[in-house]
Amino acid sequence: MISQNIQSVKEKMAKAALGVGRNPDDITLVAVSKRFPAETITEAFSSGQMYFGENYIQEVQAKRESIPELAKIHFIGHLQTNKAKVAAETCNMIETVDRLKLARALNKHLDSAEKRLDILVQVNIGKDPKKSGITENSTEDLLIELSQLPNIRVCGFMTMPPFEKEAELSRPYFRNLRLLADKMQQKGHFQETEEVELSMGMSNDYHIAIEEGATIVRVGTAIFGQRDMTPPSAQQKS
Ligand SMILES: *Cc1c(COP(=O)(O)O)cnc(C)c1O
């Protein structure tokens, strides 16, 4: 079932990419496995899925030991500064860096000789009060500060636009994130030759995000089905 779902998501990704003249190989599928057990990740990994998205550090800690070592974890939830050390140790990319304090904490906990951590800056492109992320206007200042931190590497941007029932309505947000990335690249905050990563698009709108330039899509429900929405912290208390 999971294997078939991944297959059909990949087909839809390829179709969207080819439709706008992009190479499907340039887009990474992150399977969002939050609230699903380690066995589910292992099953998906067996069918060739490499990247997994997780929202809660305590879940990453619990699963990391039980999943294949080669499985890569993208952290996509709100990260508390006091969890930076664990996140730096257990995740392969932090997609949700939205403040200097957090970036400094990550930088501090990384042994430069050992590891350089890939991160994305989370941008609240739709100015949604319910979403994390920095505003478009403060992005450049943050990029300048982050360039001073030797142990982290800013690969691009991530966004979660305001919820829309119609996938098509998310298109302007995706487009604006791409325009922001282009602008930051022109201003020299990313190298001319490097591809700026854009993590955008979820189960209901990843095809639109790909048409607008997504290089990473984060898909949960379309692969694993409906998840238990109770956060793990609330579950432990009961
Ligand atoms: C849960 C989550 C997803 C996946 O959402 P689906 O609608 O299940 O595909 C993607 N991105 C983030 C940041 C999430 O928290």
Mean pLDDT of 11-26: 98
Beta strands in 108-160 (DSSP E): 117-122, 152-158
Task: Please tell me the distance from the alpha carbon of residue 98 to that of residue 216, in angstroms, as a whole number.
Answer: 18
φ, ψ at 62 (rounded to 5°): -70, -35
C-alpha dihedral sign at 134, 135, 136, 141: negative
Task: Please tell me the distance from the alpha carbon of residue 158 to that of residue 218, in angstroms, as a whole number.
Answer: 10
Cα-to-centroid distance, 108 and ligand 1 (Å)? 29
Residue 203 has pLDDT above 50, yes or no: yes
Residue 231 has pLDDT above 70, yes or no: no
Whole-structure pTM value: 0.95
φ, ψ at 213 (rounded to 5°): 110, 10
Question: Using 50, 70 and 90 to split pLDDT, how confident is the model at 166?
Answer: very high
Q: For ligand 1, atom 13, which residue shows the shortest CA distance? A: 76
pLDDT score, position 197: 98
> Ligand 1: residues within 6 Å at CB?
32, 34, 55, 76, 160, 202-203, 218-222
Question: Using 50, 70 and 90 to split pLDDT, how confident is the model at 230?
Answer: confident
Mean pLDDT of 168-185: 98
- Expressed in percent and rounded to 5, the helix, strand and coil fractions of the chain are 45, 15, 40
pLDDT score, position 112: 60
State the Cα torsion 54-153-120-182 to the nearest 10°.
-150
Mean pLDDT of 183-208: 95
Q: For 15-24, 28-37, 50-59, 229-238, which range has the lowest pLDDT when averaged over its residues?
A: 229-238
Question: Using 50, 70 and 90 to split pLDDT, how confident is the model at 226?
Answer: very high
Question: Using 50, 70 and 90 to split pLDDT, how confident is the model at 100?
Answer: very high
- The tokens for 141 are 């200042």
> What average pLDDT does the chain have?
94
pLDDT score, position 232: 66
Task: Please tell me the distance from the alpha carbon of residue 156 to that of residue 143, in angstroms, as a whole number.
Answer: 10
Cα-to-centroid distance, 196 and ligand 1 (Å)? 21
Amino acid at 164: E
φ, ψ at 77 (rounded to 5°): -105, 180
Name the β-bridge partners of 52: 31, 73
Q: For ligand 1, atom 4, which residue shows the shortest CA distance? A: 220
Give the Å distances, CA to CA, from 229 to 30, 35, 36, 207, 232.
Answer: 19, 8, 11, 24, 9
Relative to the CA of 218, which ligand 1 atom is closest? 10
